[in-house]
Amino acid sequence: MIGSFGVDASMEGSLILCRQVDQPGMIGSVGNILGEENVNVSFMSVGRITPRKQAVMTIGVDEEPNKEALKMTGEIPAVEEFVFLKL
């Protein structure tokens, strides 16, 4: 659990935790940014309470995203908050 959101995630390595509005295209938007910056995704999980409200996306990455990739992620309009963790 991350707050009240159930997610299936391995809490090791490098992770991006992203709280956002649950809407179509969010997985693709973040995935495209990471792909353009050559960051490989090892897993991804989304937890939500109800459709079209808030959700939490957990993304495991093999490489640490650069500052530009993190900046672009934070600029996605539906992203309310995110953090990069290196565990």
Cβ atoms of 84 and 15 within 8 Å: the answer is yes
Q: Which residues of the chain have pLDDT under 50?
A: none
The predicted structure's pLDDT at residue 3: 73
Look up the CATH number of the domain holding residue 46: 3.30.70.260
Q: Is the pTM of this model over 0.95?
A: no
26 domain-assigned: yes
Would you say residue 5 lies in a domain?
Answer: no
Predicted local confidence at residue 4, as pLDDT: 73
> Could you tell me if residue 9 is inside a domain?
no
CB 43, CB 10: distance < 8 Å: yes
Domain count across the chain = 1
Q: What is the pLDDT of residue 12?
A: 84
In a domain, 32, yes or no: yes
Most distant CA atoms of the chain, gap in Å = 33
Residue 2 lies in a domain: no
Domain that holds residue 29: 14-86
Number of residues in the chain: 87
Does 3 reside within a domain?
A: no
Average pLDDT, the chain: 92
pLDDT tens string 73-84: 999 999 999 999
